[in-house]
Amino acid sequence: MNKGLSWFTWSALVVGFSFLYLPIILLVLFSFNESKLVTVWGGFSTKWYVELFNNQGLLNAAWVTLKVAFVSSTVATLLGTMSGVMLTRFGKFRGRTLFSGMIYAPLVMPEVITGLSLLLMFVAISWDRGFATVTIAHITFSMCYVAVVVQSRLATFDHSIEEAAMDLGCPPGKTFFAITLPIILPAVVSGWLLSFTLSLDDLVIASFTTGPGATTLPMKIYSQVRLGVTPEINAVSTILVGLVATGVLVASIISRRSEAARLRDERLATAER
Amino acid sequence: MAVSGQEARKKWEPWNDPQEKPHVQLVGVSKRFGEFTAVDNISLDIYKGEFFSLLGPSGCGKTTLLRMLAGFEQPSQGQILLEGSDMSGVPPYRRPVNMMFQSYALFPHMSVERNIAFGLKQDKIPSAEIAQRVEEVIELVELGAFAKRKPHQLSGGQRQRVALARALVKKPKMLLLDEPLGALDKKLRAQTQFELMNIQEKLGITFVIVTHDQEEAMTVSTRIAVMDHGRIVQVATPTEIYEYPNSRYVAGFIGEVNIVEGRVAEVGEGHLSIASEESGCSIRARHALDAPVGAAVWIALRPEKLVISMEAPADTSSNCMVGEVWDIGYLGNLSIYHVKLDSGAMITTAKTNRTRDTEQPITWEDRVYLTWTPDAGIVLGQ
Amino acid sequence: MNQKSRDTDIPAVEYLDSRSAQGPAGSLEELHKRLLLLPPYRWVTQAITRSGLSARGILIATPYLWLLLFFLAPFLIVLKISFSEYAIAQPPYTALFEWVDDVFIQIRLNLENYQLLFEDDLYWRAYLNSVKIAGISTFLTLLVGYPLAYGMTRAPRHWRLALLMLVILPFWTSFLIRVYAWIGILKKEGLLNLLLLNLGVIDQPLVIMNTDMAVYIGIIYSYLPFMVLPLYASLEKMDDSLLEAAADLGCRPIKAFWQITFPISIYGVVAGCFLVFIPALGEFVIPDLLGGSGTLMIGKTLWAEFFSNRDWPLSSAVAVVLLLILVVPIVAFQKMQEKDKAA
């Protein structure tokens, strides 16, 4: 059974992954370019990073973006987890169909429409746009992602574990905090991470719902990108990509370690019986 | 203990004692899910200290009945009384009843100790007492070496014992077990059955167990309720269920059985004579049924109660079927013979292999005689 | 058999007494009882019970209200504004409902915006072009994604998780940055032209940037994970022995692919196509950054109508029609998922 990889498999993997990664690698590479021209290699330099840290506008935007992402992902995780529990554990309640429709619709709604509709509503109730409105917009679409992640975790969750807790004298509300929540915590955490990156990444909805003083980093990048490719934007991008890649890699290494430990434990347990 | 031999042999049968009060009473309990009736008007008394089995094929309503006892489902009709008090509307977390789940439902994020202590903590028991009781029960189920482990670090058998310990530690008035041994392999299951019986006898807690495995029910139970389509077909001790089934369903569900059709020919003093074309002979059986002459009856014959022989018995006028050996299954301790009667009916019989070599073994296409005593056949009506 | 021939009494078991059997039902209830001593808490809980709300009710109400307020209501407002008229005012549209003499409500339904969408070829061409671009790029994404997903399932088992991670990783990095990365590659004096010119493959720089081609590349690149993941999931479930059985029965590998592998993965193919097509249809960033002035896509049109022309009623109408177009693939996708779940 020791078949080598066929030439087809090899080329499919190499071509596919080169396509996925070359653009990002080139982008990172040219952020260290001495030359202002993005396509001409003028030697290694970190001067664009230094310049970056002197660009107050960009730093402000980054700070606003982080604040929005943190607040919106936290609230979205709370609301999304509640929604996920409602959809899997509450059986039938009045208006369930409408609710599950409202959970799934934002996932497929074009961003321009979500942005437009929220903006029109904020105008209709004459709410000044700014930090709060962007955050509310981000909460609204992020909570749906969290709800879906939590819901799919709960769907595979052995309901009798909760019943066992109740059988042992634990009332339903307490059961949720003592049993259900610790078990679904990984899903809740990844829901939070997903919301955070979605918020960090969003250009379109933020453009519609933000106001003066709350310009986010993607908006800043977008307005500069429209003027052309600059090494400075390459440097910002590299930092962002680096942060996300490190986060995802660390998370996956941790989960793989614990998975390996779990497998080892299981083998141990069956061996000694 | 100075108890006379006579008394020691006296059977413990509270269900036959009119003085005894039932521990749990089900009065006309039904459960409907929409159009579907899962449990249909069941009335049942279970006595303190019993090891009571609910036995039946999947979908017969036994698990629903158990879940109603635990409080996860409310009866659509009828009442469940525990020590005389009505349990309707009492949520599971307020019932002095605990359950051992089929999947064990161990809390994956807690160690064995914390799993077991969980129920006691809900009752606000002082932690010193919790520690002591957890230790006791861990010793009872022999899990001392694994107290600090998490469920995924345990084998199937160990998990099963944690689930048992967790339910027992609260000293419930009744322990409900949903297919407790279903996930274990055959050898471990047999061993665990005896462990369960020992623990139950030591603690004297009423056990109600749901199972689809008739062998398991026979081994552990004081009484068995055989269920079918949401109804109880028969409630009796394992011996009674096997030897005196009240219907073809029960006879067929518990153990192997041959069933032949016949008509009552004569009702005698203490016995019945039955004419049976299917068996090709007239059958004498003990009188156990009010059936007039001419009524259709069925005779259930257990394979081990039939004697197979190549020589014709002295009296071939009754209880003697003749046929040809069709198939032989050699199991070592037993041999199973499938004998085709002249009517075309196939009869199964078992013969113990008492010696290592039989001089003239019965083989394929041999013509054989199957005989049995009038005691051995069970006469069943519609 | 458990013949209980008992010569001793049933051992004494100390049952839980009735107090603990009833069970003080947890610390939350305890807390609730104590808090009831405080008047404000009592008033609030009384108000809640009087209005028939339980803890469960509150739990349901919170996310429900949030979505009604910030998802459904805004959408209804879009619908309303799409029926009003453009006005040079703040906000720039006329009211749909008007009080006449404080007695009647006058409703002025204005269908002009919708009429314009069908009459002005700028709009309906934008819709058609969006469908065309989304469709073509979905097909191209399938062409790129299928071999990749197939290669991943053929790779050794211990690589697969890592390969899966590698496919997902770009999805977590910024969308904007990934699109931006292509500008440096595709533009006239970009890296691709530089490479091809130096290799002598071409002697004139290719014009890819600001064309539909660049938009296709951008969509394929951005949405490739959406295509690969369902494909991988459906291909991975396939039993290897199926291909061995086909070979054993005399089927050549290429034929076996079309007769065995592809039909089995069809669910993944369809799911992947929907997952790419639906978001591509309303895409804004990719056609705006990579496409040219001639690249008409409805997301871009809506943006321009809103931010440049400030015609809110018209952009609302554009949004409503876009949603109506999207309903078709979304409902089809949902139907397919239900069918798959039922199977």
Cβ-defined contact of A90 to C60 (cutoff 8 Å): yes
Cβ-defined contact of C1 to B238 (cutoff 8 Å): yes
Chain C touched by B128 (CB under 8 Å): no
Residues in chain A: 273
Closest CA of chain B from A162, distance in Å: 8
Mean pLDDT of all residues in chain A?
86
Same domain as C168, residue C34: no
**Residue A273, pLDDT score:** 44
Q: Is residue C140 part of a domain?
A: yes
* ipTM greater than cut 0.90: no
In C, minimum Cα distance to A225 occurs at: C180
- SS3 sequence of B90-146: CCHHHCCEEEECCCCCCCCCCCHHHHHHHHHHHCCCCHHHHHHHHHHHHHHCCCHHH
C212-236 and C157-172 helices, crossing angle to 10°: 140
Mean pLDDT of all residues in chain C?
81
Same domain as C38, residue C145: no
A194-199 mean pLDDT: 90
**Residue A188, pLDDT score:** 92
Q: Is residue C66 part of a domain?
A: no
Same domain as C285, residue C158: yes
Q: Which of B7, B171, B221 sits opposite C2 (nearest CB)?
A: B221
Q: What is the pLDDT of residues C234-290, one digit of tens each?
A: 998 888 788 888 888 888 888 888 888 898 899 999 999 999 999 999 999 999 999
Q: Which residues of chain B have pLDDT under 50?
A: 1-6
Q: Is residue C73 part of a domain?
A: no
Cβ-defined contact of C7 to B203 (cutoff 8 Å): no
Same domain as C330, residue C189: yes
In whole angstroms, give the CA distance from residue A61 to residue B232: 73
Q: Is residue C108 part of a domain?
A: no
**Residue C124, pLDDT score:** 87
Q: Is residue C270 part of a domain?
A: yes
In B, minimum Cα distance to C27 occurs at: B122
Confidence of residue C11 (pLDDT cuts 50, 70, 90): very low
pLDDT at A263 > cutoff 80: no
C45-64 mean pLDDT: 73
Closest CA of chain B from C10, distance in Å: 6
- Strand, helix or coil at A213? coil
Which positions in chain B touch A171 (Cβ < 8 Å)?
91, 93
Which positions in chain A touch C165 (Cβ < 8 Å)?
248, 252
Cβ-defined contact of B103 to A160 (cutoff 8 Å): yes
pLDDT at A192 > cutoff 60: yes
Cβ-defined contact of C147 to A124 (cutoff 8 Å): no
pLDDT at A223 > cutoff 80: yes
Q: Per-residue DSSP letters for C60-76?
A: HHHHHHHHIIIIIHHHH
Return the partners of chain B (3 or more C-beta pairs < 8 Å).
A, C
Q: Which homologous superfamily is A51-228 in?
A: MetI-like (1.10.3720.10)
Which positions in chain C touch B48 (Cβ < 8 Å)?
10
Same domain as C119, residue C19: no
pLDDT at C104 > cutoff 90: no
Highest mean pLDDT range out of A239-248, B146-155, C188-197? B146-155
pLDDT at A203 > cutoff 50: yes
Cβ-defined contact of A110 to C73 (cutoff 8 Å): no
Which positions in chain B touch C2 (Cβ < 8 Å)?
51, 197, 219-222, 238
Delineate the domains of chain B, giving CATH numbers in brackets.
5-96+172-250 (3.40.50.300), 257-380 (2.40.50.140)
Same domain as C296, residue C187: yes
Confidence of residue C51 (pLDDT cuts 50, 70, 90): low
Same domain as C143, residue C37: no
**Amino acid, single-letter form, for residue C122:** L
- Which of these, B61, B58, B7, lies nearest to B36 by C-alpha position? B61
Chain A touched by C63 (CB under 8 Å): yes
- Which of these, C174, C148, C162, lies nearest to C228 by C-alpha position? C148
User: In a mutagenesis test of the A interface, which of C172, C303, C324 is the best target, namely the one with the most A β-carbons within 10 Å?
Assistant: C172
Highest mean pLDDT range out of A134-143, B348-357, C299-308? A134-143
Q: Domain containing C271: what range?
A: 115-342
Which contacts (CB < 8 Å, 24+ apart) does range C184-187 have?
C184/A26, C184/A27, C184/A30, C184/A38, C184/A39, C184/A229, C184/A234, C185/A23, C185/A26, C186/C214, C186/C217, C186/C290, C187/A229
Q: What is the pLDDT of residues B83-141, one digit of tens each?
A: 989 998 889 999 999 999 999 999 998 999 999 999 999 988 999 999 999 999 999 99
Confidence of residue C117 (pLDDT cuts 50, 70, 90): confident
pLDDT at C106 > cutoff 90: no
**Residue C50, pLDDT score:** 63
**Residue A64, pLDDT score:** 93
Would you say A204 and C284 are in contact if contact means Cβ atoms under 8 Å apart? yes
Alpha helices in chain C (DSSP H): 18-22, 27-35, 39-50, 55-67, 73-81, 112-119, 121-154, 157-172, 175-186, 191-199, 212-236, 240-248, 253-256, 262-264, 266-281, 285-289, 298-307, 312-342
**Residue A199, pLDDT score:** 92
Q: Which of A13, A24, A252 sits opposite C151 (nearest CB)?
A: A13
Q: Per-residue DSSP letters for A48-104?
A: HHHHHTT-HHHHHHHHHHHHHHHHHHHHHHHHHHHHHHHHHHS---TTHHHHHHHHH
**Residue B280, pLDDT score:** 84
In whole angstroms, give the CA distance from residue C272 to residue B201: 60
Alpha helices in chain B (DSSP H): 5-8, 62-70, 112-122, 127-140, 156-168, 186-203, 214-220, 238-243, 248-253
Overall domain count for chain C? 2
Phi-psi region of B230 (alpha: psi -120 to 50; beta: other; left: phi over 0): left
Cβ-defined contact of B107 to A166 (cutoff 8 Å): no
Q: Is residue C103 part of a domain?
A: no
Q: Is residue C236 part of a domain?
A: yes
pLDDT at C320 > cutoff 60: yes
Residues in chain C: 343
Interface of C with B (CB under 8 A): 1-8, 10-16, 20-26
Residue spans of the domains in chain A: they are 51-228
Q: Is residue C296 part of a domain?
A: yes
C150-168 mean pLDDT: 87
pLDDT at A1 > cutoff 90: no
Same domain as C273, residue C155: yes
**Residue B9, pLDDT score:** 59
Chain B touched by A124 (CB under 8 Å): no
Select the more confidently predicted residue: C187 or C18. Answer: C187
